[in-house]
């Protein structure tokens, strides 16, 4: 009985924290990205934006999502701190869900900001795919058989090997 009560309390706290995190996010607006210092100033917001996008189901807060996507795209497009490289296999995975492409780019950028020493394209691509998978799991996306298969690879620890094969092909 004590274990059930403890589990229930932990579940309640985790759910409440996640709900607060989703509602407390504010997409940057009125930002100015002119100089390298401007981009550096917004790095924490980039990370927060990617975190919010990957954990908020598609279809929830569409206006905030649109602002978040616009900010993230503009930041990634002009930043010298990150250099996202989209491959055909990523576009194929995303299909008609352009939001998944933004999540890939965001996951890559977030990882590169948090680990500036990492230059390995397999690692950077893998982090972009992992962000897509977490968002897909959060919900709101059309069923995607390929992403379902990649979730299995991630669970088995073989996602990096799959990414390496895609980059070599």
Output the pTM of the full model.
Answer: 0.85
Query: By three-state DSSP, how is residue 168 classified?
Result: helix
| pLDDT at residue 47 is higher than 50 | yes
Q: What is the pLDDT of residue 23?
A: 58
| pLDDT at residue 3 is higher than 90 | no
Query: By three-state DSSP, how is residue 157 classified?
Result: coil
Residue 52: pLDDT band with limits 50, 70, 90: very high
Q: Where are the domains of the chain?
A: 38-168
Length of the chain: 169
Check residue 59 and report its DSSP letter.
T
Closest CA to 140 of 24, 61, 68: 61
- Over the chain, what is the mean pLDDT? 89
Closest CA to 103 of 151, 145, 136: 136
Q: What is the mean pLDDT of residues 38-48?
A: 97
Cα angle: 91, vertex 111, 17; to 5 degrees: 100
Place of tokens 């972009």: 128
């Amino acid at each position: 009985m004590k274990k059930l009560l403890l589990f229930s309390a932990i579940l309640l706290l985790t759910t409440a924290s996640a709900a607060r995190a989703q509602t407390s996010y504010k997409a940057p607006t009125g930002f100015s990205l002119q100089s390298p210092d401007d981009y550096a100033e917004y790095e924490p917001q980039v990370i927060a934006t990617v975190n919010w996008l990957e954990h908020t189901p598609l279809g929830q807060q569409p206006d905030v999502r649109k602002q978040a996507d616009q900010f993230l795209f503009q930041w990634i497009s002009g930043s010298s701190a990150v250099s996202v490289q989209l491959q055909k296999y990523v576009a194929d995975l995303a299909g008609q869900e352009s939001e998944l492409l933004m999540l890939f780019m965001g996951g890559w950028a977030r990882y590169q900001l948090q680990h500036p020493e990492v230059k390995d394209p397999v690692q950077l691509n893998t982090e972009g795919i992992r962000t897509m998978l977490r968002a897909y799991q959060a919900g709101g996306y059309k069923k995607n058989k390929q992403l379902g298969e990649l979730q299995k690879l991630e669970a088995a620890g073989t996602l990096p090997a799959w990414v390496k094969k895609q980059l070599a092909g």
